Structure 1
Amino acid sequence: METNFDQLLDFPTFQTFKVMGVAHERLPDDVVACLQEHAPGDYNPTIKPSSKGTYHSISISVKVVSKEHMETIYTELSSLELVRVVL
């Protein structure tokens, strides 16, 4: 992944990731477990259902320490089975 995060941000910084995925009870736990692997911390995700209730949007703030760290988190969150989009 080739991004310009290092030119746009001063590291370390807190970045809010927005993860959209299938409305399943396991989704928040999967997201937090993935983050614990790559950026251990105490997470308190905000979960909002879609208007039809088929998807959930999870917003979660993560301390990232480098461009590579941020790219790894994006890649790993995107690879989760229930996740459809990571912003």
Structure 2
Amino acid sequence: MKIKLREMLQFPCFFTYKIIGLAKPELIDQIIKVIQIQIPGDYTPQIKSSNRGNYLSVSITICAKNFEQIEILYHEISKINIVRIVL
């Protein structure tokens, strides 16, 4: 799948991550902080709460200059201890 995705994208391009994490107040700030290190800019994430309110679904779009930025951010966001899934 990685090769196919790399072939499908033309850079620069917009790329949206969907992140599911624990419903903690610091989740959004931690995600944006990681993204700001790699690709500084203004970000407006879309946030939805789970039915029970235990988790947040965060969609955030970046403008990637190359495929490596997409991969690096995927791994760096995954390292946040309250993040459960990065798509």
TM-score, normalising length: structure 1:
0.94
Displacement of 1:6 in angstroms is 2.2
Residue 6 of structure 1 contacts residue 66 of structure 1 at CA under 8 Å; is this kept in 2? no
Aligned length: 86
What is the distance in 1 between the residues matched to 2:83 and 2:8?
26
* Residue of structure 2 equivalent to 1:64: 64
The residue that corresponds to 1:52 in the other structure is 52
Q: Does 1:85 align with 2:58?
A: no
Cα distance in structure 2, aligned partners of 1:71 and 1:52 = 31
**Alpha-carbon deviations, 1:41-73, whole Å to 9, x = none?**
100111100011000000111011111111001
Aligned to 1:38: 38
Gaps of 5+ in 2: none
Structure 2 residue 61 is the aligned partner of structure 1 residue 74? no
For 1:77 and 1:8, locate their aligned partners in 2 and report how far apart those are by CA, in whole Å. 23
Q: Distance in 2 between matches of 1:63 and 1:45?
A: 14
Secondary structure, aligned partner of 1:28: helix
Give me the whole-angstrom Cα distance separating, in 2, the residues matched to 1:15 and 1:7: 14
